[in-house]
Amino acid sequence: MLSFEDLKEKLGSEVGVSRWFTIDQARIDKFADLTEDWQYIHVDPVAAKKTIFNGTIAHGFLTVSLLSAMYYDAIPLLEGSTLGVNYGFDKLRFLSPVKVGSKVRGRFELSELREVRPFEISTIWRVEVEIEDCEKPALVAHWIGRQYLLEGHCQDG
């Protein structure tokens, strides 16, 4: 667990790295069913084999959707936090396809932390999702979050 002061000290540095998540065809197929995105490069191994990817790849939004699980895995809880919500992205880029059978993990650097109003803070995380044994990451994002805290947990001094 991190205090607000501890988190402030980590500004500009890497705060955590998640475990590896395996992207198998079953996960891709479930995501396709949930989002109704059945493009063949994701769900048809035979047709996808004939593309530049040489097999199926994960949806970019599947990789994005794993950010929450990666965050929970990598970032300690904030003392006094009663609720955390996604606020959006300032930047999100897909740099490399995630091929079926790959493993991915998230690296989280705290790039901004500010008190929006009493007991409410805004964070911006620079997130990089690595693909095991690949030079380029799957994605890079600037992810904005809000944390709502119990009284007395985010005041300076």
Residue 44 lies in a domain: no
Q: CATH number of the domain that 17 lies in? A: 3.10.129.10
Q: Is residue 64 part of a domain?
A: yes
Nearest alpha-carbon partner for 75 in 109, 103, 113: 109
Is residue 126 in some structural domain? yes
Look at residue 74 and tell me if it is in a domain: yes
The total of structural domains in the chain comes to 1
Domain assignment of residue 138, yes or no: yes
> What average pLDDT values come out for the chain (157 residues) when binned by 10 residues?
92 98 98 98 98 98 98 94 95 98 98 93 97 98 96 59
| CA gap 3, 121 in Å, rounded | 13
Between CA 77 and CA 144 the distance in angstroms is 16
Please state the length of the chain: 157
Q: Provide the pLDDT for residue 157.
A: 39
What's the pLDDT score for residue 4?
Answer: 87
The whole domain housing 8 covers 4-22+59-149
- Domain assignment of residue 30, yes or no: no
Q: CA–CA separation, 80 vs 121, rounded Å?
A: 12
